[in-house]
Structure 1
């Protein structure tokens, strides 16, 4: 017969039962740690995305500070990542410093950046062309065979076909060659683009050309060839044959048609490396 009392056996079983139940309750609470780790890593992921967006905006300093905060937070730390402290005023100062040009540097200003320089050069080339025409071509100017005008974008030298060509021809006269040599001596000292436009009247051609388009293009090409022979950069010059589509006056008389037969040199007011970039870039 056992010496243990019934009460003592009941208490022993109760203690074992409570011990098992307490261990079970402790195991149920362990999910909180995994959940906390997951939330921390998820938050770090979104902060990393925010940092990438800052990189796209070009703020490398702010990106570095934010990533340092993320790496510190991933270590299961309960310390929150304070975004407000990361976006300090120092990053804005760096941006303004990048946008502000260095005062110590002395870059060569482009014509578009320095209107005064452009205006000075414009006046200089116009003065040289006017002086050249007045000195060497005063008679042609008085007879209306050559003129120079200025618009907002171009300096225009207009040469009448009567000075440049025989009737219906595209080959230059001796007087035309002398005039174009003088003009090229001025132009080849600069890098201004030149567009040479050929114009005719509205009468149909009666020689081996099939249209005024061909005649106007051939005449403009003859002028371009002579300018290039005089030293003008070929990359800065182009030909346009406009036929009778851009008359100065109505083609209602022989006098008006003579005014419409012409070649115009349009000189750009901004220096360039080549004509294509000047016109299309």
Structure 2
């Protein structure tokens, strides 16, 4: 009778040792980094064959593009010629993803995604238009892939408003920022990451001397802070 070859035992033992080492490592990490492991587990549970968290390849590409734009604008000095070329190139990409009435601007300590108010709201109102929801959904997905603090700012032009609901531009700008915040909270984003502000006409990007400039000053900014 032919004696069986026991060489497979060596490979099997090696495999068992590797598994034992792996589980010991996991146990030691769980004692030191419980929150990290919790996040890791969550990310694995969200991963599907379609991408992270069920996102399609197109959605992942769009999120990556927006995040790269945000990062590049935060860390490139505004005085360099490269900055201008970068902005022109990135604005084209952003327009393809979000639309031509949305842009990104760098600011001290971070970068903003800027929406013209006309994209989000009807004149004199603070209820989100249905047409803007797909764009806000893309922004919500970008936010989910960041860990930085975020502020939402409402801004108006210099023309006064006086209605029963909004006695002045202060109320209107704040309620508009609140509407955007509520949308993100409804998307299950942690509310503690957000702050909001309404600045009325006090922080214009351009002089309020033409309809074109006023339209740009009426805006909501979603600020990603470093």
- Sort the TM-score into its range (normalised by shorter chain): 0.5 to 0.7
**Distance (whole Å) between structure 1 residues aligned to residue 195 and residue 181 of structure 2:** 7
Report matched runs for 1:1-281 at 5 Å: 126-127=67-68, 133-137=94-98, 140-141=99-100, 145-208=101-164, 209-269=166-226
Q: Measured at CA, do residues 170 and 223 of structure 1 come closer, stay the same or move farther in structure 2, by a change above 3 Å? A: same
Q: Does the residue aligned with 1:172 lie in a helix, a strand or coil?
A: coil
How high is the TM-score relative to the length of structure 1?
0.47
Q: By how many angstroms is 1:175 displaced?
A: 2.2
**Distance (whole Å) between structure 1 residues aligned to residue 160 and residue 107 of structure 2:** 32
Whether the 8 Å contact between 1:147 and 1:157 is mirrored in structure 2 is yes
How high is the TM-score relative to the length of structure 2?
0.57
* CA shift digits 1:148-170 (9 cap, x unpaired): 12345212100000101001010
Q: Does the residue aligned with 1:149 lie in a helix, a strand or coil?
A: strand
Q: By how many angstroms is 1:147 displaced?
A: 0.3
Whether the 8 Å contact between 2:155 and 2:200 is mirrored in structure 1 is yes
Whether the 8 Å contact between 1:215 and 1:243 is mirrored in structure 2 is yes
Larger Rg: 1
Q: By how many angstroms is 1:249 displaced?
A: 1.3
Q: Does the residue aligned with 2:142 lie in a helix, a strand or coil?
A: helix
Whether the 8 Å contact between 1:126 and 1:155 is mirrored in structure 2 is no
Q: Work out which structure has the larger RCO, using CA pairs closer than 8 Å and 6 or more positions apart in sequence.
A: 2
Q: By how many angstroms is 1:220 displaced?
A: 0.4
Where structure 2 has 5 or more consecutive residues not aligned to the other structure, the ranges are: 1-31, 34-63, 71-89
Q: Measured at CA, do residues 246 and 190 of structure 1 come closer, stay the same or move farther in structure 2, by a change above 3 Å? A: same
Q: Does the residue aligned with 2:221 lie in a helix, a strand or coil?
A: strand
Q: By how many angstroms is 1:224 displaced?
A: 0.6
Q: Aligned pairs, how many? A: 144
Where structure 1 has 5 or more consecutive residues not aligned to the other structure, the ranges are: 1-106, 109-122, 270-281
Whether the 8 Å contact between 2:185 and 2:191 is mirrored in structure 1 is yes
Q: Measured at CA, do residues 152 and 255 of structure 1 come closer, stay the same or move farther in structure 2, by a change above 3 Å? A: closer
